[in-house]
Structures are given as C-alpha cells and as structure tokens.
Amino acid sequence: MTYFDNYRQRFFIENSPVRGDVVHLTDAFATVISQKDYPKALKALLGEMLVSASLLISTLKIHGKLSIQLQNSDPNAPFRFAMAECDTTGAVRALAGFSAIHDDEQMIWQNAHTAQDAFALLDKGVLFISIHPEHGESYQGIVERVSDDLGECLAHYQKQSAQIPTIIKLATNETTASGLLIQLLPQSDKDKDNDPDLWDRLTMLTATIKKDELTELPAQEILYRLYHEEDVVLPDVNALHFACTCSLQKSQGAIIQLGQDEALQVANAHGGALVLDCGFCGQEYRFGTDDIKQLFA
Ligand SMILES: [Zn+2]
C-alpha cells in the first residue's frame, strides 16, 4: 500500500449499514496555518475545520466542493470568520480572519488554547456548510451550535438534517490534524435483527478514542484499536493535498467588479500598483495602472 501523509481512509463494518472515514493531515495542515501569524487556538480550529470538510465530503455522492464556514456578525470582533473546504479531488484549503493588534485582542487570544476556545469566541457567529456540486445547484445549511465542539455540532447536523446517526471526533496538535467519522446508514429490518445493539456498541467504542491517538496513530491502527472485534473493511486510501483555486482571471474579475476609477485610486494610493494577496496560499496578483486601464479597455 502506498503511504500518504495526507489521506482519507474509508472503512465499512462488513454486513452492516455502518460506514466511516479517518482523515489525517500533516503538511497540508502546515501549509494552511503558515499563511498568517494565526493564534494557537485558531490554528487548532482551522485544522478541525479542514478535517471536517474532508470527512463530510466523503459522505456525499457528488463531484464538487464542500465548505464549512464560521461567520461573526460583529465585524470588529477579534475573530471574524473562518472557512475550510475540500473538493472531490482531495484538495483542501482554509483561511481565517482575525485581529490580534490591540492589547485586549492579544489577551483574548493568549487565553484561548484549544479549537473549542476559538469556536467559543464566535459565540454569536453562524456555522454553516455549503455544498457546491460541479453540475447542479449549490446548497447551504445552517448548523446548530449545540456545543463548542465542532465535531459534535456537525454530527448533530447530520442526525437532524439527514436522519443519519453520526459521530465525529476531531483532534489537532502542532503538526497534525485528524479526525474520525462513523455513521449508521438506514438499516433494513434484517440488519436490525442481525445485530440489534451494533450502533450502541460502536458508539461506546468510538467514545474511547483519545485525542493523541487520533493525531499520532495511522488510520488503520486507530480503526484496529477501536473496532478489532468487528469485521472492518478497508478500501484503498484517498490522498489529500493542499491546493488553491485562486487565479489571475479571478483577480481580474475582482478588479472589474471594483470599477476602473476605484481601482486606479487604490493603485495610485499604493505606489502605482493594486496588489491582491490570496489569503489561502499567499499568491500575489499585482496590477499596475496600465494593467488596470487595459482591463477596462
Ligand atoms: Zn490562492
């Protein structure tokens, strides 16, 4: 088997309607959190959001992209927004908007240590999932904030919106973001008769996973530790990777939206060039006044 540092391992319990995935991200996670000087808690939350997007897209039968977003209603809050996405080719990226300039803001971030702490800072924020199929209409759902644990909120959403009992466990450390999703798809009467306490048993077993086991162990070992008395089937792993969808064309589009006069004003105020930085990957798109005029010619 090929070994990947960033991967999603799907699993099934043989002869049952149970499926799941384990996601493990190392350098893709490192690339995301190195884009800005993110506070520690925000790095952890971005890791959990990346893993969640990678887990959830695997539950869908679409080609396209899934994104998880947190949006604060207060534009002056120290934590403004965060988003993470994964597409069906396994490309992930994420970004957060925050401020840690003023003393009180710095203090808030210094007292935030975990993903939950960062999530709690957005207590008035909205959490939502968007699904963008390549063909067909996009869909957006608001996720109820049942706790400050992102995994619990997303699992609750699966249960409420799709009637599918789901457990999601997430963990990060400095170098790795990982998670596990397990769900009970609709059961036939035969399934229920076969093994009536299957889901209760799996729920209890899944609750025993520790955060450091999730980040430190390979997927196969996590699944073995948890479910070695079950018949676990492991298809080939899917590689995940960091990738950005920004482009010169999209940046040009943004300038056209801004309008010629506004764009030239900004450029003139900044030494004759309007520079668009991509917050996801750091790519710089630079437009001189001649470039701007040409866009509108
Ligand atoms: Zn980019």
Per DSSP, the residues of 227-238 read HTTS-EE--PPE
Q: What's the gap in Å between 286 CA and the centre of ligand 1?
A: 14
Nearest Cα neighbor of 238 from 13, 28, 76 is 28
- Residue 116's pLDDT band (cuts 50, 70, 90): very high
Dihedral, CA of residue 109, residue 211, residue 236 and residue 234, to nearest 10? -150
Q: What's the gap in Å between 54 CA and the centre of ligand 1?
A: 19
End-to-end CA gap in the chain: 55
Q: What's the gap in Å between 247 CA and the centre of ligand 1?
A: 7
Q: What's the gap in Å between 4 CA and the centre of ligand 1?
A: 23
Distance CA 149, CA 254 (A): 35
Q: What's the gap in Å between 34 CA and the centre of ligand 1?
A: 13
Residue 3: per-residue pLDDT: 57
Is 232's pLDDT higher than 50? yes
Segment 236-260, tens digit of pLDDT: 999 999 999 999 999 999 999 999 9
Segment 59-95, tens digit of pLDDT: 998 899 999 999 998 888 999 999 999 999 999 999 9
Q: What's the gap in Å between 284 CA and the centre of ligand 1?
A: 8
- Angle ∠(40,172,207) on CA atoms, nearest 5: 135
Segment 262-275, tens digit of pLDDT: 999 999 999 999 99
Q: What's the gap in Å between 97 CA and the centre of ligand 1?
A: 15
Mean model confidence pLDDT for the chain: 94
- Residue 1's pLDDT band (cuts 50, 70, 90): very low
Q: What's the gap in Å between 279 CA and the centre of ligand 1?
A: 7
